Amino acid sequence: MPTTHAHTSNSSYSFLDSLSNDPNVQQLLSNASRSHQTTLIHHDYDTIYNPSLINQLLTTNPLTIAIHNTRNLSDSTKYNQVLETMLNKNIDFLGVTETCHPKGQRFKAPSNLHYSAFWSNIVNKKAGVGLILHRKWSPYIRFIYVDLYMKGHNKIRIIVIYLHANYRDKQARLKLQHTLYDLLNSSTRANYHTIIMGNFNANIDRFYHSVAKHNKGNWTYTLLHHLQLLCFTDLQLTFTHDSTQPTHTFKMMH
C-alpha cells in the first residue's frame, strides 16, 4: 500500500512538471494573470467613475505626472516654454529626457516662482535627464529621484531614466541597469509606490514578442525583465490598444 502511494505521488509530480513546462499552459497562465490585473484596475476605475467624484478629484489638488523627451533643452526659450506649458496644464511633475544640457543647466531658472528642477549629476551633451516639479511638493522631497512622504504613511518614488541609446556603450548601460535594479529592489523592500518612466531605448514590442515565446531576449531587455519580476505594470499596455501612443510608463502594483 505505501508503495502504491509513493508511485502515485511520483506520477503526480511528473504530470505537474510536464504541465508546468508546457508552453501553451505557460502562455495561458500569463494571459490569465494579465487579464485579471487589467480587470482589477478597470474595476477601480469604474468604481470612481461618477461625475461628482471625478469633479471633486479634479478640483481638490490632484497629483499630475508627465514625461517629455525634449531632444535638447539647452535653449532658454524652449525651457521657459516647457515651464509655461506645465503651469497651464497644472502638471506637478515632469520627467524630461535627452536634455543634452550644458554645464550650467543644473542652475537654470533657480528663481522660478512655481517650479524647481533637478538634473542628472554628470554633464552629458548627448543625453541627460531631469525632473521638474512644482514647488508645492518641495517639503515632501527626501531624495533626488524623487521620494515623497505623504499623509497616512504613504510613500511614492518617481524615477526618470534615460538608458544609453548607443549599443557600443553596452558596459555603461549594464552598469546603470544594475544600479536601477538595486534602487527598484530597495523601493520594494521599503514599501514605496514606485513609478519608473523615461526612455528605455529598447523596442518594447519586440520585448513582448520575445516574452510570448519564453525567451529572455538580448541584454537590452534585462531592465524590462526585472520590472516584470517585481510585478510592475506597463500602464500604456493596460489602458490603450493604440500602438501609436509614444511612451510606456511602469507602475508597481500592490
pLDDT in tens, 118-146: 877 655 566 777 889 998 888 777 556 78
| Most confident option among 18-22, 60-64, 228-232 | 228-232
Looking at the chain, the whole-number percentage of residues with pLDDT higher than 70 is 61
More reliable by pLDDT, 198 or 83? 83
Mean pLDDT value across residues 34-60 = 60
Cα(207)–Cα(88) distance, rounded to whole angstroms?
36
Preceding amide of 146 cis, omega within 30: yes
pLDDT of residue 243: 52
> With bands split at pLDDT 50, 70 and 90, how would you rate the model's confidence at 6?
very low
For the packed helices 51-59 and 23-48, what is the interaxial angle rounded to 10 degrees? 80
pLDDT of residue 106: 54
The Cα-based distances of 60 to 46, 57, 119, 181, 252 in angstroms read: 20, 6, 30, 35, 25
144-169 residue pLDDT tens: 678 888 888 889 999 988 888 888 88
Question: Order of strands across the sheet with 154-162?
Answer: 147-150, 154-162, 193-199, 250-252, 232-234
pLDDT of residue 93: 92
Q: Please give the mean pLDDT across all residues of the chain.
A: 74
More reliable by pLDDT, 7 or 24? 24
Instruction: Give the H/E segment covering residue 117.
Output: strand 115-119
Mean pLDDT value across residues 48-58 = 62
